Amino acid sequence: MNTEYDGFDYSTSLAGASFPSPVFTASGCASSGKELAQFFDLSDIGAVVTKSVMNKPRHGRSTPRMAETPSGMLNSIGLQGPGIDHFLANDVPWLLSKGSRVIVSIAGETIDEYSVLARKIRPVQGISAIEVNISCPNVENRGMVFACQTDTAARAIDGVRKIIGGEIPIIAKLTPDVTDITSIASSVVDAGADALALINTVLGMVINLDTMRPHLGGKTGGLSGPAIRPVAVRAIYQVHSAMPNVPILGMGGVASGRDALELILAGASGISVGTASFGDPTAIPRIQRELHALLVARGFTSLRQAIGYAHRASEEGAQ
Amino acid sequence: MNTEYDGFDYSTSLAGASFPSPVFTASGCASSGKELAQFFDLSDIGAVVTKSVMNKPRHGRSTPRMAETPSGMLNSIGLQGPGIDHFLANDVPWLLSKGSRVIVSIAGETIDEYSVLARKIRPVQGISAIEVNISCPNVENRGMVFACQTDTAARAIDGVRKIIGGEIPIIAKLTPDVTDITSIASSVVDAGADALALINTVLGMVINLDTMRPHLGGKTGGLSGPAIRPVAVRAIYQVHSAMPNVPILGMGGVASGRDALELILAGASGISVGTASFGDPTAIPRIQRELHALLVARGFTSLRQAIGYAHRASEEGAQ
Amino acid sequence: MSTINKSAAQITATILSNKRVGAYHQILLSIGDLASVCRPGNFVAIAVGGESSKMILRRAFAISRITHGSASGGAMELIVAPHGSGSRWLCAQPEGSDVDIVAPLGKAFGIPTSPVNALLVGGGYGSAPLFGLAEVLKARGCRVDMLLGASTGSKIYAPLEGKRSASTLKIYTEDGSMGERGRVTAPIPSLIEQGSIDVIYSCGPMSMLRAISDLTTGTDVVHQCAVEESMACGIGICMTCVLPVKGEDGTVSMLRSCIDGPVMDASTVAWDLVGKTPPAVTL
Amino acid sequence: MSTINKSAAQITATILSNKRVGAYHQILLSIGDLASVCRPGNFVAIAVGGESSKMILRRAFAISRITHGSASGGAMELIVAPHGSGSRWLCAQPEGSDVDIVAPLGKAFGIPTSPVNALLVGGGYGSAPLFGLAEVLKARGCRVDMLLGASTGSKIYAPLEGKRSASTLKIYTEDGSMGERGRVTAPIPSLIEQGSIDVIYSCGPMSMLRAISDLTTGTDVVHQCAVEESMACGIGICMTCVLPVKGEDGTVSMLRSCIDGPVMDASTVAWDLVGKTPPAVTL
Ligand SMILES: Cc1cc2nc3c(=O)[nH]c(=O)nc-3n(C[C@H](O)[C@H](O)[C@H](O)COP(=O)(O)OP(=O)(O)OC[C@H]3O[C@@H](n4cnc5c(N)ncnc54)[C@H](O)[C@@H]3O)c2cc1C
Ligand SMILES: Cc1cc2nc3c(=O)[nH]c(=O)nc-3n(C[C@H](O)[C@H](O)[C@H](O)COP(=O)(O)OP(=O)(O)OC[C@H]3O[C@@H](n4cnc5c(N)ncnc54)[C@H](O)[C@@H]3O)c2cc1C
Ligand SMILES: Cc1cc2nc3c(=O)[nH]c(=O)nc-3n(C[C@H](O)[C@H](O)[C@H](O)COP(=O)(O)O)c2cc1C
Ligand SMILES: Cc1cc2nc3c(=O)[nH]c(=O)nc-3n(C[C@H](O)[C@H](O)[C@H](O)COP(=O)(O)O)c2cc1C
Ligand code: FES
Ligand code: FES
């Protein structure tokens, strides 16, 4: 564990899983870790959240898969990946050998697939948590986003929970593209999610002005980056307000320590950094340093004191 | 009518109402027009969409009411305004006297209030259309956003339709903050909306890092500006795809002719420019010029040919 | 043409000079003919961050002084505190670069038609519009006294300028590093009591304006203050910059400080309601 | 440390010079020790737009040439076409300004261990990495012929440089404004037939790479091409830049062109699947 934060308790926990720092990679924005290892030591950050893996290997969507937008980007990767077997045999052992804490993200095309994935992960030693991605917008059918409806969201989580028992914390990852995110959040918590990951990308689209057609191979894509940060802060604030005891892994447009602090004050116990790593391979350790300095400057002696502080401050506050 | 587009037919119509150009102000981003008249001639643009007016005068929310965010901003005005009587007695006549086409935006706290407003507007001569704002996020209770549910959305529109009859086109303004915007769109069309305005702002929040509390007086606010453009394009594309015959007034992050073109190719028959006018008081006439040049450069001889072209191109297209 | 901001125009202005002065930057912009329509109290809205900026809103700055040059036309002086990313960007622009400005905006200070005794009170960069104002007042035969205050000496802008433009100048800093230690409002009660001032012109933090307002309440002293609210547009179209102002009948309206201000009659501002949800409108 | 991009580092590089050359800008960056680990075919990813930029992604540029200087260390040359807002920003940066770069990235061209006859084919700014490559190949005793093509003469980068670095140089433009009128691929069939080339190194638009690939299929000529796909990260973490590549067993995988490329064995690329939804994975 990290000791460079002397005096300050930078550790965090998500439903029993502990981490020396609250700054993680975001699923799909760090592959399986190897690529970033050239730029910093993976054991120095809170955790590596791996790219959502499915049961079978998968090609994903056709190219182009990305479009830059003002202060953001769209992606339509479509969950390309090697499949769970290859992933568990190769990527997880490599990450653990580097001393990294590992959160495995899984995604299924059917409710059953989530259970199948859980069954394969259960016996694996050393995994800190499972992030259940029920909100990837880049699947063939927009109706397939389980996190859009309380019942499908709950069933996917329930399938995983039944198999995992209490061994590994389950983090349900939600989309902000719903009418009422708190109702989705409470349905997955009822179904057995220990924590929530907020937010996945926002559904968006870009038209290519040369071809005058949708730019992305998959037509629509997921919007990420600083552009969506106010949406992430709002979602985290709303959900933390409704369920103050459910830990939240916050993400969406965090590119600096100040951004991370904003999400933490809104209620996040940990921060995933996604798109920022594309523009800056050392974004995560930088954000980790900046956040620490900002917390200390505000007189906090532990990260925990700051989590959800915006809610408490408003009770105490003058207004 | 404008003749400076010689050869090119720049006119558009929204359910029977005709406009010499497709570029309008956005409701709430031009007040009642007077303020912009110093910077350009209001009769030169397509139309002035006035700030949503309620039945009674209204103070709106407490300050601060805005926060700049990456490529966007949050606002929480809360529908401050003079009330419909003052508005109809003063602002509408002034706009008409300047030769401006006027679209009156109305907002109600109750379903009934929409009918009351419609009753007062009905006898007024010279109004091109009514935009019914059922999606303002800056009202006391987030549950009050009628456009979040198909039934409340439909009832608000139905109330207006019953009173307006067929005299004035009704444009229903929707929020993208819903699980399925096409179902909301079809419910308001069934209830009598002639056209749709897409999109209102996206619900967001900013935490002030000095006070460590929500920055806006109203806590949450509406996100607008280029940051949300991909969301607007997606919403317009989805709705146009589902209901190709329902005209759409598109908006959300349009700051240049290229942005306007993107929304038009996605399916918008007209474009409202909101936040861009804050950063550039002459944004609207500039965007109007730029869009015209881009359309001509692509070989279009009328605006109409370009509306929804991204859908047709993808049928014809090579892939 | 409108009656609102009726002299305003959007132009490209060249930075003639950009000098650090204490904690501030003194920036001189070449604005041609526009100089002739700028009045003390008006402000300018400047686009920041360049072509591919993520900052979409203009930044507002008080027009500090206007000089009517020769060939190149007039110039506008600003006093800019490098605060956040937008003002820091502006302070970093080199001489010779161009900025997109909209000016003059807002209501100017009211100038008395006959000579009066005027007290000008500035807090921090709030002194900006006071130098230009002092010149105009003196030209009208007014007596001009000036009080400048700040947290520390480096935030007192150009004390020598102050001396030149006013009959008397008193400086207050909270840490005592320049002038007297204390608040700039300290001497005001006795000045009012002595009957030595007719009008106070103030510009600075809202708390300072309010404090002065409290001191002038119930006296004959007129108090014109230049308020500072967060502004998204600066031209009256967004309704973000509102301030509760009492009408003649006592009802409070939320007025836009960009077009109904920034200069306001301090006695009409409902200071206790600033930043609060105003009471529901009653008809 | 990883095996991927194992020499890559993120550094601040100073622009030593920035010159317009035809339709391009030749930009020289001071990169110190990093120069020693850059190989022809590697690319650099540059942050664009400055501190308050709305452009959040880096832009990729082929490393055109490396010079090993004296005191100030090595330098990296780029050939940049002002295309959209990011590349235009880079082309507008003055000498002396700093940029944030990550380099060297991706797989370099494979250099034969024994002397061969090499044909270098560049389209537009695709000629960028070929000059440096030519020098390396010549140092290994290879014969180097070069073909450069573009739509028009101003888009042929530095034809004189080409002449210096290759044994022969032929230029093709589609409008005939420089060299011969036609496509750069025109002479390749007869060169292959004559048996005068062993390896083709190509860099340019995907359509050009594919056309060359079609010509070399079924011949003994090895074809290494530097592909260009839209890249969000450039370092292998985002999966946006994938290309369908056939494995030894004939199955197609979507490989990341940033780390498994940009230089690829053209015979393994499933050209007909580029930009299509690849067939479902079968196990
Ligand atoms: C009428 C008026 C006159 C002003 N005159 C001066 C002056 O002469 N010299 C000077 O240094 N400053 C002046 N200010 C304040 C100046 O506008 C802010 O310091 C500046 O907008 C901060 O922008 P930023 O990007 O540096 O900071 P950020 O905090 O990054 O700005 C974020 C957003 O908040 C707004 N904002 C932040 N602080 C303020 C503020 N104090 N007032 C209004 N909006 C704010 C910005 O406009 C921007 O939209 C004046 C403000 C107003 C309204
Ligand atoms: C490996 C590699 C080597 C390259 N070498 C060179 C070179 O030597 N000289 C040169 O001028 N250009 C080169 N390019 C292309 C260069 O990256 C693009 O021209 C540039 O990214 C365009 O950015 P922009 O902001 O100007 O354009 P915009 O169109 O505004 O860019 C928008 C987004 O699309 C991406 N994009 C747009 N065009 C391309 C493209 N052709 N390739 C990849 N991404 C693109 C941008 O990175 C950005 O994220 C290379 C690209 C790659 C992948
Ligand atoms: C290229 C890309 C790929 C992503 N892939 C995944 C994924 O596989 N699983 C997942 O749960 N989220 C995925 N995401 C979403 C991110 O984890 C994150 O929720 C989102 O991007 C918001 O954070 P950011 O703004 O920091 O990127 C992906 C995002 C991007 C940009
Ligand atoms: C300050 C502000 C006030 C607004 N007020 C209203 C309003 O009164 N009625 C309404 O329908 N939309 C209102 N909107 C939403 C805009 O009309 C528009 O739908 C939205 O801002 C997206 O467009 P833009 O990105 O071009 O601003 C407001 C937006 C802003 C920024
Ligand atoms: S700043 Fe927009 S109305 Fe005043
Ligand atoms: S550009 Fe991100 S993986 Fe290649």
Considering only the beta carbons, identify the residue of C4, C241, C253 that sits closest to B35.
C4
Q: Is the pLDDT of residue A37 over 80?
A: yes
Token pair for B275: 């936040």
Above pLDDT 70, what percent of chain B? 94
Whether residue C246 is contained in a domain is answered as yes
- Residue B58 has, within 13 A of its CA and on its CB side, a CA count of 23
Q: Is the pLDDT of residue D283 over 50?
A: no
Whether residue C3 is contained in a domain is answered as no
Kindly report the protein residue whose alpha carbon is nearest to atom 21 of ligand 1.
Answer: C59
CA nearest to D49 within chain A: A71
Contact: C275, B80; criterion CB under 8 Å: no
Same domain as C243, residue C222: no
CB of B275 shorter than 6 A to ligand 4 = yes
Contact: B266, A309; criterion CB under 8 Å: no
Token pair for C115: 């000579």
Interface test with B, best of A179, A183, A208, A239 (most B CBs within 10 A): A179
Domain boundary among D79, D105, D131: D105
Above pLDDT 70, what percent of chain A? 94
CB of D83 shorter than 6 A to ligand 2 = yes
Beta-sheet strands, E only, within chain B: 12-14, 17-19, 23-25, 48-49, 66-69, 72-75, 102-106, 127-133, 170-173, 195-198, 202-205, 207-208, 213-214, 220-224, 248-251, 270-273
3-state SS string for chain A: CCCCCCCCECCEEECCEEECCCEEECCCCCCCCCCHHHCCCHHHCCEEECCCECCCCECCCCCCCEEEECCEEEECCCCCECCHHHHHHHHHHHHHHCCCCEEEEECCCCHHHHHHHHHHHCCCCCEEEEEEECCCCCCCCHHHCHHHCHHHHHHHHHHHHHHHCCCCCEEEECCCCCCCHHHHHHHHHHCCCCEEEECCCEEEECEECCCCEECECCEEEEEECHHHHHHHHHHHHHHHHHCCCCCEEEECCCCCHHHHHHHHHHCCCEEEECCHHHHCCCHHHHHHHHHHHHHHHCCCCEHHHHCCHHHHHHHHCCC
Q: Is the pLDDT of residue A201 over 60?
A: yes
Q: Are C234 and C257 in contact (CB under 8 A)?
A: no
Burial class of B13 by CB neighbour count within 10 A (0 to 12, 13 to 18, 19+)? middle
- Residues of A assigned a catalytic role: 136
Question: pLDDT grade, residue D280 (50/70/90)?
Answer: low
Give CA–CA dist B187/A318, Å, rounded: 44
Domain boundary among D56, D83, D105: D105
Domain boundary among C105, C133, C160: C105
Q: Are B159 and B112 in contact (CB under 8 A)?
A: yes
DSSP secondary structure letter of residue C67: E
Same domain as C78, residue C40: yes
- Residue B9 has, within 13 A of its CA and on its CB side, a CA count of 10
Considering only the beta carbons, identify the residue of B71, B209, B220 that sits closest to A258.
B209
pLDDT of residue A1: 43
pLDDT of residue C276: 81
Average pLDDT over residues B285-298: 97
For chain D, list the contacting chains (3+ Cβ pairs, <8 Å): A, B, C
Say which ligand is closest to the CA of B132. 4
Q: What mean pLDDT, rounded, does chain A reach? A: 93
Considering only the beta carbons, identify the residue of D259, D275, D279 that sits closest to A35.
D259
Average pLDDT over residues D224-246: 96
Token pair for A86: 């290859």
pLDDT of residue C68: 85
Same domain as C90, residue C26: yes
Whether residue B319 is contained in a domain is answered as no
Q: Is the pLDDT of residue A141 over 60?
A: no
pTM of the entire structure?
Answer: 0.96
Average pLDDT over residues B246-270: 98
Same domain as C245, residue C218: no
Measured from the CA of B31, which atom of ligand 5 is nearest?
3
CB of C210 shorter than 6 A to ligand 5 = no
Average pLDDT over residues D225-245: 96
Q: Are A27 and D235 in contact (CB under 8 A)?
A: no
CA nearest to A227 within chain B: B227
Whether residue B167 is contained in a domain is answered as yes
Considering only the beta carbons, identify the residue of D8, D229, D252 that sits closest to A63.
D229
Average pLDDT over residues A124-137: 92
Say which ligand is closest to the CA of A64. 2
Pick A4 or A113 by higher pLDDT.
A113
Pocket test for ligand 1, best of C38, C39, C42, C61 (most atoms within 8 A of CB): C61
Strand pairing of A248-251 and A202-205? unpaired
pLDDT 10s digits, C222-256:
999 999 999 999 999 999 999 999 998 888 999 99
* Contacting residues of D for B70, CB less than 8 Å apart: 54
Tell me the count of A-B CB pairs closer than 8 A.
154
* Contacting residues of B for A211, CB less than 8 Å apart: 313, 317
CATH, residue D148: 3.40.50.80
Q: How many domains does chain D have?
A: 3
Token pair for A13: 């926990």
Q: Is the pLDDT of residue A73 over 60?
A: yes
Considering only the beta carbons, identify the residue of A69, A179, A220 that sits closest to B179.
A179
Contact: D54, B70; criterion CB under 8 Å: yes
Closest CA to B175 of B205, B149, B199: B199
Of C258-267, C273-282, D154-163, highest mean pLDDT = C258-267
- Contact C54/D at CB under 8 A: yes
pLDDT of residue C283: 43
Question: pLDDT grade, residue B146 (50/70/90)?
Answer: confident
Q: How much distance in Å is there from the Cα of C63 to the middle of ligand 1?
A: 13
Average pLDDT over residues A103-127: 95
| Cα-based distances in Å from D257 to A34, A36, D44, D264 | 16, 16, 14, 8
CA nearest to D52 within chain B: B70
Q: Is the pLDDT of residue C146 over 80?
A: yes
pLDDT of residue D73: 83
Domain span at residue C220? 117-226
Q: Is the pLDDT of residue A56 over 50?
A: yes
Q: Is the pLDDT of residue D243 over 90?
A: yes
Contact: B77, C239; criterion CB under 8 Å: yes
* Contacting residues of C for A226, CB less than 8 Å apart: 54
Same domain as D242, residue D182: no
Q: How much distance in Å is there from the Cα of C66 to the middle of ligand 2?
A: 46
Q: Is the pLDDT of residue B123 over 70?
A: yes
Closest CA to A51 of A10, A19, A73, A83: A83
Average pLDDT over residues A197-215: 97
pLDDT of residue C70: 66
Q: Is the pLDDT of residue B303 over 70?
A: yes
CB of D31 shorter than 6 A to ligand 2 = no
- Contact D32/C at CB under 8 A: no
Interface test with C, best of D46, D48, D52 (most C CBs within 10 A): D52
Closest CA to B69 of B205, B170, B250, B271: B205
Q: How much distance in Å is there from the Cα of C239 to the middle of ligand 5?
A: 5
pLDDT of residue D279: 66
CATH, residue D32: 2.40.30.10
Say which ligand is closest to the CA of B263. 4
Contact: D52, C51; criterion CB under 8 Å: no
pLDDT 10s digits, C187-210:
999 999 998 899 999 999 999 999
pLDDT of residue B315: 53
Q: What mean pLDDT, rounded, does chain B reach? A: 93
Q: How many domains does chain B have?
A: 1
* Contacting residues of D for B71, CB less than 8 Å apart: 54
Give CA–CA dist B192/B154, Å, rounded: 8
Kindly report the protein residue whose alpha carbon is nearest to atom 16 of ligand 2.
Answer: D60
pLDDT 10s digits, A156-165:
999 999 999 9
CB of C239 shorter than 6 A to ligand 5 = yes
pLDDT of residue B319: 35
Q: Is the pLDDT of residue A246 over 50?
A: yes
pLDDT 10s digits, D136-179:
999 999 999 999 999 999 999 877 776 788 889 999 999 999 99
pLDDT 10s digits, C109-122:
999 999 999 999 99
CA nearest to D48 within chain C: C52
pLDDT of residue A247: 98
Same domain as C164, residue C87: no
Pick C194 or B261 by higher pLDDT.
B261
Give CA–CA dist C210/C204, Å, rounded: 10
Token pair for B107: 């907002």
| SS3 (DSSP) at D227 | coil
Interface test with D, best of C46, C48, C51, C91 (most D CBs within 10 A): C51
pLDDT of residue C71: 66
Whether residue C110 is contained in a domain is answered as no
pLDDT of residue D81: 95
Ligand 1 binding residues, C-beta < 6 A: B 68; C 43, 57, 59-62, 79-81, 83-88, 125, 128, 228, 230-231, 262
Same domain as C264, residue C220: no
Among B136, B227, B239, B306, the one annotated catalytic: B136
pLDDT of residue B6: 75
Kindly report the protein residue whose alpha carbon is nearest to atom 17 of ligand 1.
Answer: C60
Kindly report the protein residue whose alpha carbon is nearest to atom 26 of ligand 3.
Answer: A274
CA nearest to D56 within chain B: B70
Q: How much distance in Å is there from the Cα of B25 to the middle of ligand 4?
A: 10
Above pLDDT 90, what percent of chain B? 85
- Contact C6/D at CB under 8 A: no
Whether residue A319 is contained in a domain is answered as no
pLDDT of residue A147: 84
Domain span at residue A220? 3-314
Average pLDDT over residues A188-194: 96
Question: Which are the contacts of B62, defined by CB distance < 8 A and separation ≥ 6?
Answer: B217, B218, C275, C276, C277, C278
Same domain as D151, residue D185: yes
CA distance C54 to chain D (A): 4
* Contacting residues of C for B57, CB less than 8 Å apart: 281, 283
* Contacting residues of D for C86, CB less than 8 Å apart: 52
Q: Are B268 and B309 in contact (CB under 8 A)?
A: no
CATH, residue B37: 3.20.20.70
